[in-house]
Amino acid sequence: MANPYAWPLADGREMLFFSLPSHHPSPVPDRRPLPARGDARSQVRFDRQTGQWVAIAALRQDRTYLPSADQCPLCPSPSGTTSEVPAPDYDVVVFENRFPSLSGADGRAFSLPDATVDDFVSAPGHGRCEVISFSSSHHTSFADLGLPHARLVVDAWRHRTADLMSRPGIEQVFCFENRGEDIGVTLTHPHGQIYGYPYLTPRTDQMLAEARAHRHRHGSNLFADILAREVADDVRVVIRDDLFTAFVPFAARWPVEVHLYPNRFVRNLSELDDAELDAFASTYCDLLKRFDRMYPTPLPYISALHQYSDTDAQREGYFHVELMSVRRSANKLKYLAGSESAMDAFIGDVLPETVAARLRELAS
């Protein structure tokens, strides 16, 4: 696992530099006059109607929004005065978000209150929100990274997953990337985020409930059985080798949606061996390159790494990545309007088999 180089930022946050073997970080003092980090924190409130926790983070209203390239907070700052990265160059960096949705997971014990005692239950927004910048280059993308660099990002994800999973009060660790203004990004520099939640997110909770029910009915793992069925059907498989399989799911919700699974059951990145980590970086980049060949302009997407821990609640979880895009043609987007946003009832615009065939055609 990568051993990052730690460096302090002006307001007390810590930055971690992950570097390729030929590159050694040369950070400089962070000279920005940042305000001290106060006690203002988000809240989590329990929604009695749905049985779900909701984070309320009013401090995020002041976060950076679509700055010009010369004001980008993720570009290198050789002077230590112009961005979040006080260094002349870097490969990959990770640091706590300056405007976090969740914070305070620093080793102190924490547990959510009993949500059954009142109709209006709230708690501090305990957790951790980190930013991971994939490259110092403002005008690149994950798909453009060389394989050693892509593997370095995977190693950084793996390092942060292991760290955050070990912290008291963190129930779920979620690494993700939003790419493209059509998705809603507020920074165009290639980057992602890592969230440590104090609860299981609603989608994860629902998927695990289905997996437990499947285990009870069939005595087998739901995700492994889905993977086996997709491989057997073959019509929606996009990429398959000895270690990984990528397919468009049978009931895809998004115009472009691909799920990437290791062929061996693991719960999170920390359980993959070196050969699997290399294969993961390679297959993941292959998929993103195919995404960018679909239309004349790069495909906006969300990349979601579904990870689980070896606990009673999460034991059936199978690590996989879900890639999705709102673009349904070269010049049309799918908007999550009434049915999707209000009722969570998705309506697909294209056949999953058609999308899979198109992505197979786009191999380099």
Please state, for a pLDDT cut of 90, what percent of the chain lies above it. 89
Which residues are marked as active site? 191
| Predicted local confidence at residue 1, as pLDDT | 55
pLDDT at 98 > cutoff 70: yes
Q: How many Cβ atoms are within 10 Å of 319's Cβ, its own excluded?
A: 23
pLDDT-based confidence at 290, cuts 50/70/90? very high
pLDDT-based confidence at 354, cuts 50/70/90? very high
Domain range annotation of the chain: 5-25+40-199, 204-361
pLDDT at 62 > cutoff 80: no
| Predicted local confidence at residue 213, as pLDDT | 98
H-type alpha helices, the chain = 147-165, 202-218, 222-233, 274-293, 343, 352-361
CATH H-level, domain 5-25+40-199: superfamily: HIT-like (3.30.428.10)
pLDDT digits (tens, 9 = 90+) for 195-248: 999 999 999 999 999 999 999 999 999 999 999 999 999 999 999 999 999 999
Is pTM beyond 0.85? Reply is yes
Burial zone of 321 (CB within 10 Å; 0-12 exposed, 13-18 middle, 19+ buried)? buried
CATH class of segment(s) 204-361: alpha beta
pLDDT-based confidence at 76, cuts 50/70/90? very high
Arithmetic mean of pLDDT over the chain: 95
| Predicted local confidence at residue 86, as pLDDT | 98
pLDDT at 40 > cutoff 80: no
pLDDT digits (tens, 9 = 90+) for 128-156: 999 999 999 999 999 999 999 999 999 99
Q: Which residues contact 260 (CB under 8 A, 6 or more apart)?
A: 244, 245, 246, 280, 283, 284, 287, 320, 321, 322, 323
d(CA 41, CA 18): 29
How far is C-alpha 283 from the chain's CA centre?
17
Report the amino acid identity of residue 339: S
Mean pLDDT of 42-50: 96
